[in-house]
Each structure stands twice: as structure tokens, then as C-alpha cells.
């Protein structure tokens, strides 16, 4: 028996599965994330154990209160992860984002940077840490803008917390009534007090709840 030529394709024939554009994009990002985590695991393994607890992703976030005798409570949230520091910057560096709400109810989103010592073990308990934060509006690349308010924190890991003080930076950035000072830099307020803060691991929603709660 002779079969006719040029038969139409059989719709029941099994087709090879295709990922498609969306599937390929998801696979690309998954592989990229895995590669990044492997790099972190090799070069900065401490990033998975900040605060004395293992994190699947190499970052840490937490929040705390800074109590001012003159203006009241400031609430601070930080989130940071490892970043290269460069050949001329010995140490282990981090970057990320911070949010600050003031006693007046103002909210500031700040860029964050900082670092620790050069030789770190898996446990950073007892290690000194420096964090600095500054304002950077979205239009900064097109028109340099004022980077105030800024904070500067120094302290140590006391697992599971990060215990720090602001070195007077809050009192230099804000007026006694809690309003951010954005006037002439030559008239920037002098240091009035140094505030203590214990950053405890927590979520942004916990920070927001603390901001909305009545202040002492």
C-alpha cells in the first residue's frame, strides 16, 4: 500500500516542550541568583550568618528606636548586604537602604553604606560595624541635590542585635523640635546629645507599626 505524500502534520504528535520568553527569563534570573549566592558563599560567607542566625539570602534587616531627650523618639529601619569595597578599601563592606521616621511624623528614605573589619569569621558576634546613611533623591543624577539629613552609626554586633550610637549625628541633622535642618550648611546645628540604638532583626512592617504607635 502506498501512503499519500505531503500529509498534514498529525496534531496528536508529541511536541517538544518549549520554555518560551517568560520561562527563559525566569530561568535566567534563577541561574543569576544562584551564581550570586555561590559568589557570596565563597567570598563573604559571614553574610549568611549576621545576627547569629542562618539566612538563605545574604542580607540582614532590622529596626530600633533612638530616644532624644529634647525631641522624642526616632525610629530607624536598615537593610544591607555585602558589596565590593575596591582595592584601596580594605575591609568588608555593605550597602543597602534605610528608613527613618521622626517625632514629627516625617519619613525619610536614605541610602546606606558601611563596613566591618577585613578578616571575618562566620560569626560576626563582637565585631565592630560602621553604618552611614544619607538622602539621595531620584533626580540626583540630573541635578546634584542636598544629601541631608544624614546619620552616622558606630557599634558592635551583640548577637542577635546590632548595638550602636549615632555620634551626635541626629542632633546635627535635626532641630530640637525634631524637624530636619536643611538650611545653610554653615549654620548646621552643633552636637547636642549622642543617641543609643539597638537594632533588632525585624521586618519593614514592624518598623511602620512602631512609627505609627504613640510616642512617649
Task: State the distance between the two ends of the chain, measured CA to CA, in whole angstroms.
Answer: 95
Spans of all domains in the chain: 45-212
The whole-number average pLDDT for the span 139-167 is 89
Please state the pTM of the whole predicted model. Answer: 0.83
Stronger pLDDT, 180 or 3, i.e. the higher one: 180
CA distance 98 to 173: 15
Question: According to the model, what pLDDT value does residue 31 have?
Answer: 58
Question: According to the model, what pLDDT value does residue 40 have?
Answer: 72
Stronger pLDDT, 166 or 185, i.e. the higher one: 166
- In tens, the pLDDT along 48-106 reads 999 999 999 999 999 999 999 999 999 999 999 999 876 556 789 999 999 999 999 99
Amino acid at each position: 500500500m502506498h501512503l499519500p505524500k505531503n500529509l498534514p502534520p498529525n496534531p496528536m504528535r508529541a511536541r517538544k516542550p518549549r520554555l518560551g520568553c517568560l520561562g527563559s527569563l525566569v530561568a535566567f534570573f534563577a541561574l543569576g541568583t544562584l551564581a550570586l549566592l555561590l559568589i557570596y558563599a565563597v567570598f563573604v560567607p559571614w553574610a549568611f550568618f549576621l545576627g547569629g542566625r542562618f539566612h538563605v539570602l545574604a542580607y540582614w534587616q532590622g529596626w530600633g528606636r533612638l530616644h532624644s531627650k529634647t525631641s522624642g523618639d526616632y525610629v530607624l529601619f536598615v537593610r544591607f548586604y555585602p558589596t565590593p569595597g575596591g582595592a584601596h578599601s580594605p575591609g568588608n563592606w555593605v550597602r543597602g537602604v534605610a528608613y527613618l521616621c521622626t517625632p514629627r511624623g516625617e519619613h525619610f528614605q536614605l541610602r546606606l553604606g558601611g563596613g566591618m573589619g577585613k578578616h571575618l569569621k562566620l560569626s560576626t558576634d563582637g565585631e565592630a560595624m560602621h553604618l552611614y546613611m544619607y538622602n539621595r533623591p531620584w533626580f540626583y543624577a540630573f541635578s546634584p541635590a542636598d544629601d541631608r539629613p544624614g546619620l552616622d552609626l558606630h557599634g558592635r554586633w551583640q548577637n542577635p542585635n546590632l548595638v550602636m550610637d549615632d555620634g551626635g549625628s541626629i542632633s546635627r541633622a535635626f532641630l530640637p523640635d525634631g524637624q530636619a535642618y536643611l538650611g545653610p550648611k554653615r549654620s548646621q546645628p552643633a552636637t547636642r546629645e549622642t543617641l543609643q540604638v539597638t537594632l533588632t532583626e525585624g521586618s519593614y512592617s514592624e518598623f511602620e507599626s512602631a512609627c505609627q504607635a504613640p510616642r512617649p
